[in-house]
Amino acid sequence: MRVGDIAIGGDEFIVMAGPCAVESEQQLLDTAISVVRAGARILRGGAYKPRSSPYSFQGLGVEGLKILSKARQHTGLAIVTEVMSETDVEVVAEYADIMQVGARSMENFSLLERLGTCGRPVLLKRGMTATLEDLLRSAQFVVACGNPDVILCERGIRTFETATRNTFDVAAVPVLKTVSHLPVIVDPSHAAGVRALVPILARAALVVGSDGLLVEVHPQPDNAASDGDQSLTLEQFDTMMRDLDPYLGLRQASDKSCVAAGGIN
């Protein structure tokens, strides 16, 4: 699967990074410049936010999309951003390179159907209570509606354990890679819920065969409009990328497919 000159699901480990929400041009450009230097290939940032309250921050909407677009021009990063509503598909597709479907929307079949004809790859996040079978069914829905370019994203599931925000189902990666040909990435930020665990879960994701990461990064997490607790600072993201480096070396030295390398038939 190709996004511009980026191949997802191939040899390269693709890191998507950026703030939960686009808050300002300054915030986004600072982040974009920093993450591209650290090795990210795709910039994330929400322009339309799931608002659990009508009074909470809703995202900048089209203005946010324009800021994302400007960051792409400056840095060469491709853009992934969430689309929450069928009625926004067209405008989001105008600006974004990859259309993100959030965990809460994984079974919004009207939205999925519309994304089947949007002409952009879709990043589909696993619902917090979805089985892998449920996730694949939603992916197949997009494919059957005409769009073969779906990226699956494990982001933790809801369990009784409260030490982490969600329970990162690390085995989901090799299982999905075995039963499907679609790329699989991991969002360690939502899985962990606290930034201290993000780099270590990212490392686990890499070694079990994930095709990439989706990571929340913010210049000033403590002032973030949302998800500050689980966002890395620019410096911490850089440290994480350097920590991952030797593991990436092993990945390339060994078989391309971690499942083939470590799994046994």
Task: Compute CA 54 distance to the chain's CA centroid, rounded to the nearest angstrom.
Answer: 25
Cβ proximity to a copy of itself, 96 vs 217, nearer residue: 217
**Smallest distance, Å, CB 68 to a copy of itself?**
20
* Minimum CB distance to a copy of itself smaller for 52 or for 73: 52
How far apart are CB 6 and a copy of itself at their closest, in Å? Answer: 25
Q: In this structure, what is the dihedral angle of CA atoms 71, 66, 116, 155, given to the nearest 10 degrees?
A: 50
Residue 136: alpha-carbon gap to chain centroid: 17
- Tokens 């910039």 belong to 43
SS3 label, residue 178 = helix
Question: Closest approach of Cβ 103 to a copy of itself, in Å?
Answer: 9
What does the H/E/C string look like for 79-98? EEEECCCHHHHHHHHHHCCE
Residue nearer to a copy of itself on the CB measure, 71 or 202: 202
Query: Which token pair is 261?
Result: 């390398």
* CA separation for the pair 108, 125 (Å, rounded): 12
Please identify, using beta-carbon distances, which residue of 78 and 101 lies nearer to a copy of itself: 101
**φ and ψ at 200, to 5 degrees?**
-75, -35
Given the complex with a copy of itself, which of 24 and 167 has the nearer CB atom? 167
Helix (H, G, I), strand (E, B) or coil at 250: helix
Q: How far is the CB of 110 from a copy of itself (least distance, A)?
A: 4
Q: Which lies closer to a copy of itself via its Cβ, residue 148 or residue 262?
A: 262
Alpha carbons 18 and 195: distance in angstroms, whole number: 14
User: Shortest distance, CB of residue 25 to a copy of itself, whole angstroms?
Assistant: 26
* Shortest Å distance, C-beta 17 to a copy of itself: 15
